[in-house]
Structure formats: C-alpha cells, structure tokens
C-alpha cells in the first residue's frame, strides 16, 4: 500500500496470511501549564512492525501509514467512522477506477 492517511476513518486490519512490514507516523503529546497558559508540545515519532498471520492493526485517522508485503500478504481491512472519509496519498501515482 502506498503511503497515505485517512481523513476521518480509523482502519482495522486483520492479517490472514503472509508476512509484511508496516510503518506508521504518530505523535506524542504532552500538556503542561506554564505562566497560567496551556502549552502543547508535539513530538513526531515513527512506529514500525512486522506483520504475520493473526496480527490485528488499528490505524487511527490522520496517521500516515505504509505497508510492504514480503510474502503473499493477505489481510481483511475495514474502516470505522468512514462517512465522508478521504484517502490522501503522500507519494506515488494514484489511479481512480470507476
């Protein structure tokens, strides 16, 4: 799967067979009070995981993700809160069929 993120939908993947590699970009947030004002610091972090049968992956909305199959990767995926969702690709060429 090309690097992309979903604007509204949280995606759940269940790996059925094969192996692969997942990379996801997320952030850690820290909130503290400074001079009576709330300051929010965001730190971007990359997460990666090897995928194998039986794994379940949850991809939150707005988090860029890429999946690379290393051997016949087969998975079932579905989106939650998918109404008016847009898949935004970050690299590569997108073909629209239909």
pLDDT per 10-residue tile (average), the chain, 98 residues: 89 95 80 52 82 95 91 92 89 55
Show me where the domains of the chain are located. Answer: 4-89
**73-96 per-position pLDDT tens digit:** 999 999 999 899 998 888 765 555
User: Strands, DSSP E only, in 35-62?
Assistant: 37-51, 56-59
Q: Count other Cβ atoms within 10 Å, centred on residue 73.
A: 19
CATH 2.60.120.10 corresponds to the domain 4-89: yes
CA–CA separation, 49 vs 81, rounded Å?
A: 25
pTM of the prediction? Answer: 0.73
């Amino acid at each position: 799967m090309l690097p992309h993120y979903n604007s509204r939908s949280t995606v759940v993947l269940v790996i059925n067979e094969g192996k692969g590699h997942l990379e996801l970009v997320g952030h850690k947030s820290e909130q503290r009070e400074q001079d009576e004002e709330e300051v929010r610091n965001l730190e971007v972090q990359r997460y990666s995981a090897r995928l194998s049968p039986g794994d379940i992956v949850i991809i939150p909305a707005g988090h860029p993700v890429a999946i690379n199959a290393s051997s016949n990767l087969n998975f079932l995926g579905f989106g939650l809160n998918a109404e008016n969702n847009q898949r935004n690709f970050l690299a590569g060429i997108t073909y629209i069929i239909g």
